A and B are shown apart, each in its own frame.
Chain A
Amino acid sequence: MNRLRGFFHTSEAIAGVLILALLVAMALAAPLLFPGDPQAIAGPALLPPFQDWSLPIGTDRLGRGVLAELFHGARTSLAVGLAAAGAALVIGAVVGTLAGFAGGLIDEVLMRVTDAFQTVPSFLLALAFVSIVGPSLGVVVAAIALGTWTGPARVARAEVLSIRERDYVAGALVIGMHPLEIAFREVLPNALPPVLALSSVVVAAAILTEAALSFLGLGDPNRVTWGGMIAEGRAVLRTAPYLSIVPGIALVLTVLGVYLAGEGVVESTAVRRSLS
């Protein structure tokens, strides 16, 4: 109750939530509004927007409906963004907790591995990974997660280091709890809030990385993606700019929505923290 009130305290947060709700609605409604293959030819090629109301924002070079592509692209963007961010947060939280709680050699090894991943630009890593393994949805998700888990890992480790010294961890040791159970059942849940605060950045980065991979032709070829749509429109940028602009705007709005909503969550939890 309090959290909700805190969450909707800022108009930015409300805007963010509305944008995200719209996107989710688009993604969910895509197969209902545009049944069938969005990559099938629906009309004449390069039909400009607002000409034919069955194809409201026109068609691309192959005569595919842009609106249908946009809706189906929302599915891919959200699915890949959320899955990759989720994977990155889980890997990061687990690695960070193990490193912070175990300390010593395990900490040293895990953090050097983290360093190694962090020093390679995450986009290059994703690019290399996809070009070796071959583009498919799962590979793209894995490729993005591979480059983004280090941030959450560092934050989780820092939090675990401070929680490790608290009395209740000593209390759990005293009753004979196994160190792994202490790490994951007692410490990790309490270390999560600052890690989750990173989620908006991670999700936004994942969505952008996915779009960039698709733009370079390394997305799943069997799915419509906004990045792919932009790349597709590039060839006819002068004659049909809307082909790049429309998915571009969708991308900007999505990232904006994720950021704003994420900030709202962080702020509301910060308020709760200062109150408790």
Chain B
Amino acid sequence: MSLLAVSNLAKRYHRGSKPFPAVDDVSFEIGPAETLALAGPSGSGKSTIARLVLRLIEPDAGRIEFEGADLLALSGAALRARRARLQMVFQDPLAAFNPRATVARVLDDPLRIHGIASRAERPRRIAALLERVGLDTGLAGRAIHEISGGQRQRVAIARAIATRSSLIVLDEAVSALDVSVRGQILELLLDLQRQERIAYLFISHDLGVIRAVAHRVVILDAGRIAESGDARAVIANPQSAIGKALVAATPKLSRNRP
């Protein structure tokens, strides 16, 4: 059974007076511990889909089923409770946290809100979360703006797994990172997926990264699905025009090792 099933999702925005479809009749499924990538040029609707799935914005039409429940039917406390299982990591880890927050507070919030640990127990849980994402537990007292970009993204991942989520939406989560840090973060994500059976909705414009970590890929163009399938197969042999253009535009590093 699929973890997340999105069917016939649609969202229109109004640009001036004329409506323009940001997401148009999009359907896909994600299974447990699976990584589905959404690829496409800017304006193709990738990020809108991420926000629709997370109920940060409301769709005009369609259905989102998560863990067997109709996500769009939920509201108020029931929706907030369900959010524990459905998390997100943003592109810019600095913008994704309250500028006044400390690492400890960022991780304390989900534990408190979902009643996962008592007040006395939380510092230990926070330390365990930091260790789980490969950070020094001494970082807990630091302000978010004091730590490096890579560390911030690890904190963001720690927050996303704090509530034992089953699906994490990664919206360009590694795009702003230096390549050396990016590799480590991707390794961490894959490790978490194996250990905790977390599924990822992996949004990226970078086919190289998608090919490295995703099982399947959906290529979007102007809000519609252009093609989808096994990530490596699609990228090796794209069928749609936009797929071909994306592959052609990706910088190639042809190394001839001596």
Contacts and interface: CB of A to CB of B under 8 A. Distances in A.
Nearest to B101: A168
B90 interface: yes
B54 interface: yes
B106 to A, nearest CB: 9
A175 B54 CA distance: 10
Contact of B97 (A168, A174, A177, A189): A168
Interface stretch (B78-86, B120-128, B212-220, B242-250): B78-86
B92 interface: yes
A36 interface: no
Contacts of A171: 88, 90, 96-97, 159
A40 interface: no
Contacts of B99: 168, 190
A190 B98 contact: yes
A176 interface: yes
A189 B110 CA distance: 20
Contact of A167 (B92, B109, B110, B113): B92
A176 B56 contact: no
B100 interface: yes
A5 interface: no
Contact of A170 (B56, B81, B100, B109): B56
B35 interface: no
B151 interface: no
Interface residues of A, number: 15
Contacts of B90: 167, 170-171
A121 to B, nearest CB: 38
Interface in A3-55: none
Given A167-B90, A167-B92, A174 B54 contact: yes
Interface string A155-179: 0000000000011101111111110
A190 B163 CA distance: 26
A176 B100 contact: no
A167 B95 contact: yes
A186 interface: yes
A170 B95 CA distance: 10
A173 B159 CA distance: 13
Contact of B113 (A168, A170, A176, A190): A176
Contacts of A189: 100
A87 B163 CA distance: 40
Given A174-B88, A177-B109, A186 B98 contact: yes
Contact of A190 (B54, B84, B100, B110): B100
Given A167-B96, A189-B100, A190-B99, A176 B83 contact: yes
A166 B95 contact: yes
Contacts of A174: 54, 56, 83, 86-88
B87 A175 contact: yes
Nearest to B51: A170
B166 to A, nearest CB: 14
Interface string A136-170: 00000000000000000000000000000011101
A106 B100 CA distance: 28
Contacts of B113: 175-178
Contacts of B84: 176
Interface of A: 166-168, 170-178, 186, 189-190
Given A168-B96, A174-B56, 8 more contacts: A166-B95, A167-B95, A168-B95, A170-B51, A172-B98, A174-B87, A176-B80, A176-B113
In the A-B complex, the 4 residue pairs with the closest CB atoms? A176-B83, A176-B80, A167-B95, A175-B110
